[in-house]
A and B are shown apart, each in its own frame.
Chain A
């Protein structure tokens, strides 16, 4: 598997077919055919979002529920980016490097309070989070909130950042809110994606 670390050639190295394949073909494949995967839901009801009070949301560590997905839109390294049977919750890095990790949760019919999407590495480390206030709150100061004017609306917090990963590390997305929405509050179309961007020294 290409690793993105080109060979340093020494005097006397013979250019065999094996070397040419490893050092030319595979390196260029690594440039253009990078590991990448994207997971998606095809139905509503991804997670049950627990009701929480405002004061406990997003003060220190976010309490949150894990989102799971049932299809892989693409999976460039089959058997490596995702493993096992559906539903999947994680995308796994097949090689070391810098990755672009991102995701989105689609909350439906949200009311008062706030929703949050949290991107985590290896289940515990928070790497990005987005909190959005719900439309049921006083909205006299809304800017860029998609014209919400009623007391319910759909909220789509999205997260994305670059992270260092080693082979075997994984990302997941968690959702939380402080609205008493109960059961199936997440729409299909929620996504999680991971793409290798390069190496570090």
Chain B
């Protein structure tokens, strides 16, 4: 199980040795400065598709335009978990309170009619997102909540205007927790897409 290094309690007659300084000063400080954090980003415009079901967002090179900006921790562990269907996102190695943030911006689309789009954060999704989607029902006719999402945000989408949605949540995560994003964009748009680099990103940071 992952854990932060805990400084030892000094005792009488302890000698100040290099090995002790490294274990009890350097390592805890390093863990404080270099807590687990990672960020995924889209690097170019991308079509995300549309329909009546939510879509799981992918970040791997095969299915998207995603890229890892950084994936770093004091102990060398990695958070980014991509490439496996249903696993696109982050997987927790060290239990902590994590701040999880995400953004998507949809481009202007002249053919889009009124409606709602949303961005949702999901936990341990495991390739079952479509089943979750079927429970959401009749967006945009009146169902505005997704009970499976840890947090979600809607974007007002009127007359083809560009719009944004974001996630910003702080929550405790145990080792092994997987976190993914899903989007919904209803009918009436032929090509709903992220308009360019950095308009969709997903980040996680231990310690809030």
Residues of A within 8 A of B (CB): 4-13, 15, 23-24, 27-28, 30-31, 54-55, 57-61, 98, 113-114, 116, 125-133, 137-145, 157, 160-162, 164, 197-201
**Interface pairs (19), CB distance under 8 Å:** A6-B25, A6-B30, A9-B21, A10-B18, A31-B32, A58-B107, A116-B162, A128-B198, A129-B103, A129-B198, A131-B161, A143-B154, A144-B154, A144-B156, A161-B201, A164-B70, A198-B34, A198-B37, A200-B34
B16 at interface by CB-CB < 8 Å: yes
Closest 9 CB pairs of A and B: A9-B18, A58-B162, A4-B33, A6-B29, A9-B21, A137-B158, A6-B26, A133-B161, A130-B164
Could you tell me the distance in whole angstroms from the C-beta of B117 to the nearest C-beta in chain A? 10
CA of A201 to CA of B78 in the docked complex: distance in angstroms?
12
Assess the A137–B159 pair: CB atoms within 8 A: yes
> When chains A and B are docked, how far (Å) is the Cα of A14 from the Cα of B203?
42
Chain B interface, number of residues (Cβ within 8 angstroms): 54
Total A-B pairs, Cβ < 8 A: 146
Residue on B with the closest CB to A130?
Answer: B164
Contact B158 A199 (CB under 8 A): no
- B114, CB-defined interface residue at 8 Å: yes
The answer to whether residues A141 and B140 also contact, given A5-B33, A133-B157 and a CB cut-off of 8 A, is yes
User: What is the interface of chain B, defined by CB distance below 8 A to chain A?
Assistant: 16-19, 21-22, 25-27, 29-30, 32-35, 37, 39, 45, 69-70, 72, 76, 101, 103, 105, 107-108, 110, 114-116, 140, 144, 153-154, 156-164, 166, 168, 195-199, 201, 203, 205
CB distance from A143 to the nearest CB of B (A): 4
B70 and A197 contact, CB distance less than 8 A: no
Q: A127 contacts which chain B residues (CB < 8 A)?
A: 198
Residue ID in chain A nearest B199 by CB atoms: A129
| CA distance in complex: A62, B129 (Å) | 33
B187 to chain A, nearest CB (A): 13
What is the CB-to-nearest-CB distance from B155 to chain A, in angstroms, rounded to a whole number? 8
**A164 engages B69 (CB within 8 Å):** yes
